[in-house]
């Protein structure tokens, strides 16, 4: 079932008009469940995520998200009006990632009656903008069904370029200890000020060597973000903490990063989160080759921004979709109608190229 361009664009406007800020995706999930069922697809509900499958065998997964961030205060339009002006579609999530939702739905339906040599899976997930719990639940459901993932495409606005690598996120906390006392007596008593200790450690972190940059992702970066110290203006802090945001690459394992930081500081180092690991797909993989067959002009690059690609370990996976990353999470977010249509064509051709490479094509 090949959807006409007008129907793809109408679907995009319809889902854009349904608010789906993270943790409030149920109405949109209900709508898409009914919309897909009327066209012969029967998605399973996994929380407020949807999973639809076609064919048998190893899975090619098309995965994108339903949720959006809250609207910025500086919007000059109704974020949910789905306003179209000179080929631009304005709305919260228009670009990130409801353009990918409409395009991936169109690609999935294009093979509804085909005899595929693999399982084509469409995952429209909740919670990507928060914890990625939607994709994690869908992957668990795929495993529960006894299916094996072969490859995956994550729908995010990349200008249809191919992000073949993505940085990970490692969150650490420095915990400096001091001796709380009246500020007027601290010097005379020789009490340790935790804020000073933390400050020394933050300066020391600037000299930590994380090794050479990754060829696609560049250097591992470290930024202190949230600092806390003190209970009152006249009390020397007994404890001071700093949250460290590290954007990691496959060049160095998380445990080695932590070890190098521990050598540089006196504070305790606590791992807050290491679940979002960096990812890299071999540029010679069959998935990348299939994508470049249908879009030879696509740029291969490494992405500094996070996505549910983080959960797709051990298989070829790329991040690619209509729209531009720079528009995401901005006021008056928009996507071009032409980008949505081009995205649908790209995903459809990619599935066809994957079929050719894995089993002689769709029948």
CATH 3.40.630.10 domain extents, the chain: 5-166+278-359
Q: What is the mean pLDDT of residues 231-260?
A: 97
Q: What is the C-alpha to C-alpha distance for residues 292 and 289, in angstroms, rounded to an integer?
A: 5
Cα three-residue angle 111-99-42, rounded to 5 degrees? 40
pLDDT at residue number 158: 98
Q: What is the pTM of this model?
A: 0.93
Q: How confident is the model at residue 363 (pLDDT cuts 50, 70, 90)?
A: low
pLDDT, tens digit, 9 for 90 and up, residues 93-141: 999 999 999 999 999 999 999 999 999 999 999 999 998 899 999 999 9
Q: What is the mean pLDDT of residues 1-25?
A: 97
pLDDT at residue number 103: 98
* Cα→Cα distances 65→37, 91, 107, 306, Å: 19, 16, 16, 13
Contacts of 89 (CB under 8 A, 6+ apart): 9, 12, 13, 16, 82, 83, 334, 335, 336, 337, 340
pLDDT at residue number 360: 63
Q: What is the mean pLDDT of residues 283-312?
A: 96
pLDDT at residue number 78: 97
pLDDT, tens digit, 9 for 90 and up, residues 157-187: 999 999 999 999 999 999 999 999 999 999 9
Q: What is the mean pLDDT of residues 232-239?
A: 96
Q: Is CATH 3.30.70.360 the right assignment for the domain spanning 168-276?
A: yes
Domain 5-166+278-359: CATH superfamily is Zn peptidases (3.40.630.10)
> Coil, strand, or helix at residue 93?
coil
Q: Which residue has the higher pLDDT, 357 or 75?
A: 75
Q: What is the mean pLDDT of residues 185-197?
A: 93
Residue 358, pLDDT > 90, answer no
CATH 3.30.70.360 domain extents, the chain: 168-276
Q: What is the C-alpha to C-alpha distance for residues 199 and 203, in angstroms, rounded to an integer?
A: 6
Structure tokens at 284: 């010679």
Prior bond of 97 cis (ω within 30°) = yes
pLDDT at residue number 116: 93
Residue 39, pLDDT > 90, answer yes
Residue 77, pLDDT > 70, answer yes
Q: What is the mean pLDDT of residues 325-334?
A: 96
| Residue from 322, 324, 282, 327 nearest 300 by CA | 282
pLDDT at residue number 60: 98
pLDDT, tens digit, 9 for 90 and up, residues 215-229: 999 999 999 999 999
Q: How confident is the model at residue 1 (pLDDT cuts 50, 70, 90)?
A: confident
* Cα→Cα distances 204→57, 198, 284, Å: 53, 10, 40
pLDDT at residue number 359: 75
């Amino acid at each position: 079932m090949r959807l006409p361009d007008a129907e793809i664009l109408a679907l995009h406007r319809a889902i854009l008009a349904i608010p789906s800020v993270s943790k409030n995706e149920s109405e949109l999930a209900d709508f898409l469940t009914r919309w897909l069922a009327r066209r012969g697809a029967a998605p399973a509900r996994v929380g407020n995520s949807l999973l639809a499958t076609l064919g048998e065998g190893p899975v090619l997964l098309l995965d994108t998200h339903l949720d959006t961030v809250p609207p910025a205060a500086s919007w000059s339009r109704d974020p949910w009006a789905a306003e179209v002006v000179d080929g631009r579609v304005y709305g919260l999530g228009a670009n990130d990632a409801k353009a990918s939702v409409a395009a991936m739905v169109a690609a999935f339906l294009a093979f509804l009656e085909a005899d595929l040599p693999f399982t084509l899976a469409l995952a429209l997930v909740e919670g990507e903008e928060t914890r990625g719990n939607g994709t994690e639940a869908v992957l668990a459901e795929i495993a529960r069904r006894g299916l094996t993932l072969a490859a995956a495409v994550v729908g995010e606005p990349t200008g249809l370029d191919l992000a073949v690598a993505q940085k990970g996120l490692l969150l650490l906390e420095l915990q400096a200890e001091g001796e709380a006392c009246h500020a007027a007596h601290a010097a005379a008593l020789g009490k340790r000020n935790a804020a000073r200790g933390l400050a020394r450690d933050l300066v020391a972190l600037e000299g930590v060597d994380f090794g050479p940059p990754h060829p696609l992702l560049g250097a591992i970066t470290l930024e202190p973000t949230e600092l806390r110290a003190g209970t009152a203006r006249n009390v020397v802090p007994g404890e001071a903490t700093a949250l460290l945001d590290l954007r990691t690459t496959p060049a160095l394992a998380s445990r080695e990063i932590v070890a190098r930081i521990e050598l540089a500081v006196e504070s305790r180092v606590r791992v807050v989160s290491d679940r979002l690991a960096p990812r890299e797909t071999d540029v010679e993989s069959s998935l990348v080759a299939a994508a470049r067959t249908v879009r030879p002009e696509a740029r291969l690059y490494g992405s500094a921004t996070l996505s549910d690609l983080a959960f797709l370990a051990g298989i070829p996976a790329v991040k690619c979709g209509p729209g531009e990353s720079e528009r995401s999470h901005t006021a008056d977010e928009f996507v071009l109608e032409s980008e949505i249509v081009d995205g649908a064509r790209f995903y459809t051709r990619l599935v066809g190229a994957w079929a050719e490479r894995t089993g002689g094509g769709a029948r």
